[in-house]
Amino acid sequence: MSEGYEDTAYDAPASSPCLLDSLQPEFLQRAAPPASLALTNSLSRVFGIRLDHEQSESPDNHFLGNLAQLFQQRKLEPETTLEAHDAPWSQVYLIQHGVMRLYREAPSGRIAVHHFFSEGDLVWPVFGRTRTRRNTLCLTTVTNCSLWTASFPAFRAAVTARGDGAWARFALSLTEELAELTSMREFRKQTMPAKERYQLLLDEYPELVQRVPDNQLAAWLGVVPATFSRLKNAKNR
């Protein structure tokens, strides 16, 4: 994920990192940008707000600053469970680096993967039922992840306080996106052979193919692992 350092005070030139150990006075030393800057820039992209560094007291900057204060940074290993079924989903996750999966698990243990999230994505309980004990969705890290997390009620309250309709406008965009992706994937499962769906996976999500285990990609594609393996081997010949 791009850290979004453009248009900031950190754009000034600095000497090549390989020369800095010599401690020569003519070599420029620049402090690393604070992690809070990456968070604020990420939130600005999520909400479609361009940061104005010359107007620090602008309403947009004030909103993003207040929102950023709700988040804490976490670093997690692969296969760390963040949200589980039969428990209210209470957190918001902003991914700085890594991949996470959203899925359901049947009592038999069979997994249905609904979506993968990666750098720059904001993950939150889109559906009302997800925020109750009737929740059936699970969220787990796939790779090592660096995340920003916040309380969902506090996050929603901060967005709502921005003005009439602010939460509805924000929530609608992600809800529509997930609904469209889900419906298209179901349509493909019903109308396209596995070979064609696998090719679309390679075309549309090449980075995920490199980062996500095959068994999870198989669950997302709607095939058993043995079929996914045959498709992969046939493509690599």
Tens of pLDDT, residue by residue over 86-110, are 999 999 999 999 999 999 988 888 8
Q: Which pLDDT score is estimated for 3?
A: 44
* DSSP of 38-71: HHHHHHHHHTT----TT-TTSHHHHHHHHHHTT-
Residue 89, Cβ neighbours under 10 Å: how many?
Answer: 23
* pLDDT tier for residue 2 given thresholds of 50, 70 and 90: very low
Where do the DSSP E strands lie in the chain?
72-76, 81-83, 91-97, 100-105, 111-117, 122-123, 138-141, 145-151
Q: Which pLDDT score is estimated for 205?
A: 93
What percentage of the chain has pLDDT greater than the value 70? 83
* pLDDT tier for residue 10 given thresholds of 50, 70 and 90: very low
Q: Which pLDDT score is estimated for 7?
A: 45
What 122-127 contacts at long range (C-beta under 8 Å, 24+ apart), as own/partner pairs, is 122/46, 122/92, 122/93, 122/94, 122/95, 122/174, 123/92, 123/93, 123/94, 123/95, 124/91, 124/92, 124/93, 124/152, 124/155, 124/174, 125/83, 125/89, 125/90, 125/152, 126/171, 126/174, 126/175, 126/178
Q: Which pLDDT score is estimated for 36?
A: 77
8-22, 33-47, 135-149, 152-166: segment of lowest average pLDDT: 8-22
Residue 212 pLDDT > 80, yes or no?
A: yes
pLDDT digits (tens, 9 = 90+) for 20-61: 454 555 555 555 556 678 898 999 999 888 877 666 678 888
Q: Which pLDDT score is estimated for 53?
A: 66
Q: Which pLDDT score is estimated for 111?
A: 87
Q: Average pLDDT of the chain? A: 85
Q: How many helices (H) and strands (E) does the chain have?
A: 8, 8
How far lies 70's CA from each of 94, 150, 152, 223, in Å? 12, 6, 10, 40
Beta-strand pair 145-151/72-76:
antiparallel
| Residue 139 and residue 100 in contact, taking contact as beta carbons nearer than 8 Å | yes
* DSSP of 80-116: -EEE-TTS---EEEEEEE--EEEEEE-TTS-EEEEEE
Q: Which pLDDT score is estimated for 233?
A: 92
Residue 5 pLDDT > 60, yes or no?
A: no
pLDDT digits (tens, 9 = 90+) for 156-170: 999 999 988 999 989
Opening angle at CA 48, ends 43 and 54, nearest 5: 75
Residue 66 pLDDT > 80, yes or no?
A: yes
What's the mean pLDDT in 181-208? Answer: 91
